[in-house]
Structure 1
Amino acid sequence: MTRIDRFRALHAAPGAFVIPNPWDAGSARLLAGLGFQALATTSAGLAFGLGRRDGAAGKAETLANARAIVDAVEVPVSADLENGFSHDPEGCVATIRDAAAVGLAGGSIEDASGDPARPIYGFDQAVERVAAAAEAARDLPFVLTARAENYLHGKPDLDDTIRRLQAFSKAGAEVLYAPGLTELSQIRTLCAAVDKPVNVVMGLKGKPFTVAELAEAGVKRISLGGSLARTALAALHRAGVEMRDQGSFGFAAEALTGREVEAYMAPHKGDRG
């Protein structure tokens, strides 16, 4: 089976699966080594690694990061492609084709515009963008996830979110995603209203539901967004504060050993063995 075949099979299997979000090749190898069957990139994690705020990485940097992750692992990788790096359907099509060319099994297109004055695309424009991306994805093939971003941009309107996801499904998206839902009842209502696999994100605000609870609500896929990168940065922050304020190094007692880390990593081409 190809990576895309395996990715689609995960969405067709019973229950829910976790698709964690590495931010570079090393974190990808560790997560794949732990047995996760698919991975997803994170725009926030990439931006933080570049010393920037979320959303500040461009298309070229995003795809270079995705290629590094794809090349580091054997499992399918899906990418956070933000708004397709374009307001126009044609630009979304180009992004989907470029994403497939770096070896990605799938990726997401969102309806957030990046414009603070008009953060969410109008309904018709949002659907047109997904329809164009979906047509390109079918020809590749490529697993397209369509995201409705209302809840992340100050518009907690479940009815409009469901309406958008239903239209995205009809336009050809294979997976549907509405980040920012905080109540299990909202998630259950959304899953019952659509006919495609639903992705939710954990690690943001709200109750940290379990995989079993989310599966019971109808969720198929569970991602982590930038929360794993933020968790790693939190450990670095604690270590830095300890060194600065206490002059001690107790944090190292919880670190993985070099041997443990290297067990997940590939040897360099110049290394022996």
Structure 2
Amino acid sequence: MSTCTAEAFGALHHGRAPGDPLVLPGPWDAASARVFEEAGFPALATPSAGVAAALGHADGSVPPREMFDAIGRVARAVSVPVSADVEDGYGLPARKLVGRLLDAGVVGCNLEDSWGRKDAPAGTLKDPREQADYLAAVREVAGRELFVNARVDTYLRGAADFDETVARARLYVEAGADCVYVIKAPVEVLPALRAAIGAPLNVLCPPGGPSPQELGRLGATRVTFGPGLHHRAMEALSDIAKELA
């Protein structure tokens, strides 16, 4: 099980050269986590969609208890630090959310600023100040025990306004976020985003897109894959199954 602290995990995000981002594969279970650790990656970041698929759920439909149990199994399976995608926090108050994350053994989390719960208007952006207040509450409870990655969903939700994206990101950093994840931002805006936000930038590496190193040269501090690696693994398994059949 990982014994790394959130501060040590956070240190991996700083002092990186252009073209050398922190690459964080996304395990969906304990077995895949061990594969990535054995390959030499210094840390991992669970994707909510990949974990959901492994548990037999649609993305956004995993009962919170199942999600925390799953990320706990990942964290216990490896010695490297693990950050967890916990979507919009599942409606949990900050104290309960932080407690469950720490109990699971992770050192970081993603929190997105669009609604994901079944009882909320799915696919809509949250009020940025309300989200900033939530992030501030998480920071206050967690202290430095969690590295908080604030996801900005403007490009994902069709509200791709650069100024609003930057304004949201800055609010979240002021509230205590350690890193900002502007999911699905076009690669051509990454240099401007990094310069305008002035904080570590998480970038999604899409299938067939620029390499992690190229994304690093464009401004990515860290690179994650969402459910992409799970999809590739399932495609490979499908090919094996077809051969066997």
TM-score relative to the length of structure 1: 0.81
Contiguous gaps of at least 5 residues in structure 2: none
In structure 2, relative to structure 1, the CA distance for the partners of 1:167 and 1:27 (3 Å cut) is: same
Which AA in structure 2 matches 1:95? L
The answer as to 2:159 corresponding to 1:159 is no
Cα separation, partners in 2 of 1:50 and 1:220, compared to 1, 3 Å: same
Deviation at 1:211, TM superposition (A): 2.5
What SS does structure 2 have at the residue aligned with 1:237? helix
The CA deviation string for residues 97-124 of structure 1, in whole angstroms up to 9 with x for no partner, is 2101221111011111123466111122
Question: Following superposition of structure 1 onto structure 2, how do residues 46-61 of structure 1 map, counting pairs within 5 Å?
Answer: 46-61=51-66
Match of 2:82 among 50, 58, 77: 77
Pick from 184, 194, 199 the counterpart of residue 196 of structure 1.
Answer: 199
C-alpha deviation, 1:159, in angstroms: 1.6
1:180 has 2:215 as partner: no
The answer to whether the 8 Å contact 2:44/2:81 transfers is yes
Deviation at 1:2, TM superposition (A): 3.4
- What does residue 253 of structure 1 align with? none
* Amino acid aligned to 1:101: D
Q: Do 2:124 and 2:157's aligned partners in 1 also have CA atoms closer than 8 Å? A: yes
SS at match of 1:20: coil
Residue 13 in structure 1 maps to residue 15 in structure 2? yes
| 1:41/1:66 contact within 8 Å kept | yes
1:1-273 equivalences under 5 Å are 2-15=4-17, 16-86=21-91, 91-114=93-116, 115-116=120-121, 119-138=124-143, 141-182=145-186, 184-203=187-206, 208-240=209-241, 242=242, 248-249=243-244
> What number of residue pairs does the alignment pair up?
237
Partner SS for 1:124: helix
Which structure is higher in RCO with an 8 Å CA cutoff and minimum separation 6? 2
What amino acid sits opposite 1:151 in the alignment? Y
When normalised by structure 2's length, the TM-score is: 0.90
Aligned amino acid, residue 129 of structure 1:
Y
- Report the AA paired with residue 249 of structure 1: L
The whole-number CA distance in structure 2 between the counterparts of 1:249 and 1:161 is: 48
SS at match of 1:11: coil
- 1:3 Cα deviation (Å)? 3.4
The residue type paired with residue 166 of structure 2 is: I
1:13 Cα deviation after fit = 3.2
Contact 2:4 2:80 in 1 (8 A): no
Q: Letter of the aligned partner of 1:188 in structure 2?
A: P
The answer for the alignment partner of 1:256 in structure 2 is none
Runs of 4+ deviating beyond 6 Å: none
Runs of at least 5 residues in structure 1 that lack an aligned partner in the other structure: 243-247, 251-273
Please say if residues 27 and 45 of structure 2, whose CA atoms lie closer than 8 Å, have aligned partners that are also in contact.
Answer: yes
Residue 118 and residue 237 in structure 1: after superposition, are their counterparts in 2 closer, same or farther (change >3 A)?
closer
Change beyond 3 A, Cα 1:117–1:12: closer
Q: Which has the larger radius of gyration?
A: 1
